Amino acid sequence: MKKYRKQVAIAHRKTHNYCVVCLTKKSEEIHHAYYGNDVIGVSTFPTCYRCHNEICHSPINWIKSRSNPVWGNRNTDEFITRLRLGYQLLYGGIKRV
């Protein structure tokens, strides 16, 4: 649990505490695009509360697994690409004024 909390803190810091989806609100949560290999900016992403609930887990972007309804759920490949782009912009590109 301590290791996970540390990883969460690092994830928020890497995006300067901004949401990778809207790029404007403070990140409050960590979204798992899929489960099994937690890598910041690849499968886990800092998000604000609203984007996490309304966009990351919307039926358009979230695929529910019938065979494994918890660990098999995941985002679409297109949305994972969008999450990664937002992460890259915040981590390496956009400088906030």
Decide if 15 contacts 46 (C-beta within 8 A). Answer: yes
> How far apart are alpha carbons 60 and 82 in whole angstroms?
13
Query: CA-to-CA distance for 33 and 45, rounded, in angstroms?
Result: 8
Separation of alpha carbons 33 and 40, rounded Å: 11
Helices (H) and strands (E) in the chain, counts: 3, 4
- pLDDT-derived band at 94 (thresholds 50, 70, 90) equals low
Angle CA 91–17–14, to nearest 5:
30
Per-residue pLDDT tens digits for 25-78? 999 999 999 998 899 999 999 999 999 999 999 999 999 999 999 899 999 999
Predicted structure pTM score? 0.90
pLDDT of residue 97: 52
| Cα–Cα distance for residue pair 77/62, rounded to 1 Å | 10
Place of tokens 């901004």: 18
Residue pLDDT, tens place only, 1-33: 888 899 999 999 999 999 999 999 999 999 999
